[in-house]
Amino acid sequence: MLTITKHCREKDDIWDAFVMNNSINGTFLQTRNFLNYHKQGKFIDCSIQVSEGLSDIYAVFPACELLEEGKRVFYSHLGSTYGGPVISKKHYNITDVSNMLDAFETYIREERFSKVILKITPDLFSIEKLDLLKYLLGLRGYYQFSELSSYIDFSSYNSDIISNFTYSRRKQQKKCIAAGMKFGIIENDDDIRQFHQLLKNNLAKYNVKPVHTLEELVEFKDQRLFDIIKFYKVVLEDEMVGGGMSFYFNNTNIMHIQYSAAKQNMGTLSPMTFLFTGLITDSRDIGASKLSWGISTENKGKNLNMSLAETKESYGSKFSLNLTFQKEFTTDFGG
């Protein structure tokens, strides 16, 4: 019989070992090591583990509780790009996944959640495609919405990097080279500070702040994510005019661009083009199989940022989908 237990900090190591070593779709973004960087109290954590007995874990759901008009929502997870369920390799079969979802929905009803929102790991970052999970969620009445993402597949990419670009992108890259731009890896905190300031300046025109503070980025580099995070810079005449940050997903050997920023009003020069060319080259040279750009959509996929999608496409990218599943449980409570 499957049982569901709420996660507690004392079991962080067990959780993380399962996500990174024993699951079919776990990434560092679903580990407690990553999720715990958020200050306590920022989210109402309601993460759960589905298991048989004490140690046979079927799945974990990193999740937090939201309130919508006084009603409880099980959301997986506001503190991460992807949530749950994170499913065991051993139990990724039709019977066990069905039983796991049955136990999960029983728990949701018993806990009187009105809605479930599951941000599942994209196939790009999963060891195996999650078609079985998607089908079983659809069978149970979950509504699916899609966000358009982009990635470069190095197995079908020309070895001459810029030959994969559009003509205008190649022209911009050559102008940057002629101007003397230099690409490099950021290793010191002062450069990270300059990069973070560039990022703040870029986002200010949208009245948005970076998701992560400068202090959090430094902590990522020095402690929490030191083995999977990388920072980049573009320098022109001793001034940082561009910068980026990437995460390495070692379970599927994929580099992901998390942040990028560049100095504005550079005339015909495009430090962002030079940054991306360097980042693409570095990712290929370290042996990554793919480079992920992330989504080009807003409002749960209802709005496409055409110019952003076309920009990513201009570097020779392909398209994939990030899926979120949602279900209302209000009418299922009975008396």
Residue 277 vs residue 204, higher pLDDT: 277
Domains within the chain, CATH numbers bracketed: 2-141 (3.40.630.30), 151-321 (3.40.630.30)
The whole-number average pLDDT for the span 18-37 is 94
Per residue in 293-312, pLDDT (tens digit) is 999 999 889 999 999 999 99
The whole-number average pLDDT for the span 98-116 is 97
Per-position DSSP letters for 71-125, written without gaps between them: EEEEEE-TTSS--S-EEBSTT-SHHHHHHHHHHHHHHHHHTT-SEEEEEPPPGGG
Whether 225 has a pLDDT exceeding 70, the answer reads: yes
Distances (CA, A) of 104 to 29, 53, 62, 107: 21, 16, 13, 5
Per residue in 238-269, pLDDT (tens digit) is 999 999 999 999 999 999 999 999 998 888 99
Q: For residue 98, name the pLDDT band (cuts at 50, 70, 90).
A: very high
* Predicted pLDDT of residue 335: 39
- Name 51's bridge partners: 3, 57
* Predicted pLDDT of residue 321: 95
Angle between helices 131-139 and 94-110 (to 10 degrees): 50
CA atoms of 316 and 155, how far apart (whole Å): 12
* Predicted pLDDT of residue 293: 96
- Reduced to 3 states (helix: H, G, I; strand: E, B; else coil), residue 70 is coil
Highest mean pLDDT among 2-11, 77-86, 277-286: 277-286
The whole-number average pLDDT for the span 73-79 is 89
* Predicted pLDDT of residue 331: 53
Buried/exposed 5-22: b ≥16 CB within 10 Å, e otherwise: eebeeeeeeebbebbbee
Whether 114 has a pLDDT exceeding 60, the answer reads: yes
Average confidence score pLDDT of the chain: 93
H/E run at residue 22: none
* pTM, rounded to two decimals: 0.91
Q: For residue 41, name the pLDDT band (cuts at 50, 70, 90).
A: low
Whether 332 has a pLDDT exceeding 60, the answer reads: no
Whether 38 has a pLDDT exceeding 80, the answer reads: no
